[in-house]
Homo-oligomer: A and B are copies of this chain.
Amino acid sequence: MMAKPLTGTRVIVYGVGTMGVIVTRLLVEKGAEIVGAIGRSPAKVGRDLGDVAGLGISLGVTVEGDAGRVLARGADIAVLCVSSYLDAMHQHFATCLESDVNVITIEEETVFPWTTAPEHANALDALARKNGVTLAASGAQDVFWLHLVTTLLGASHRIDKVIGHCTWNVDDYGPEVAGHLHIGQTKEEFDRFVATSGWPEFVARQTLEALVSKLGLTVKTILSGVTPVTLEEPIQCRSLGREVPPGSVIGTIDRTTLLTIEGPEFVFDMEGRLYRDGESDSNRWQVEGEPDLELSCRDANYRFTTCSTLVNRIPDVIAAEPGLCSLDKLGPPVYRHG
Residues of A within 8 A of B (CB): 2, 26, 29, 140, 142-144, 147-148, 150-159, 214-217, 262-264, 290-301, 304-305, 307-309, 311-312, 331-338
Contact = CB atoms under 8 A, between A and B. Distances in A.
A11 to B, nearest CB: 16
B154 A151 contact: no
A337 B262 contact: yes
B334 A332 contact: no
Given A308-B155, A332-B154, A337 B147 contact: no
Contact of A155 (B159, B214, B292, B305): B305
Contacts of A298: 294, 296
Contacts of A309: 154-155
Given A262-B2, A294-B298, A294-B299, A335 B153 contact: yes
B308 A301 contact: no
A299 B292 contact: yes
B154 A143 contact: yes
A334 B154 contact: yes
Given A154-B312, A215-B337, A292-B299, 19 more contacts: A2-B262, A26-B157, A143-B155, A147-B154, A148-B151, A148-B152, A150-B332, A150-B334, A151-B151, A152-B297, A153-B335, A154-B332, A217-B337, A263-B337, A290-B308, A291-B299, A292-B301, A293-B301, A294-B298
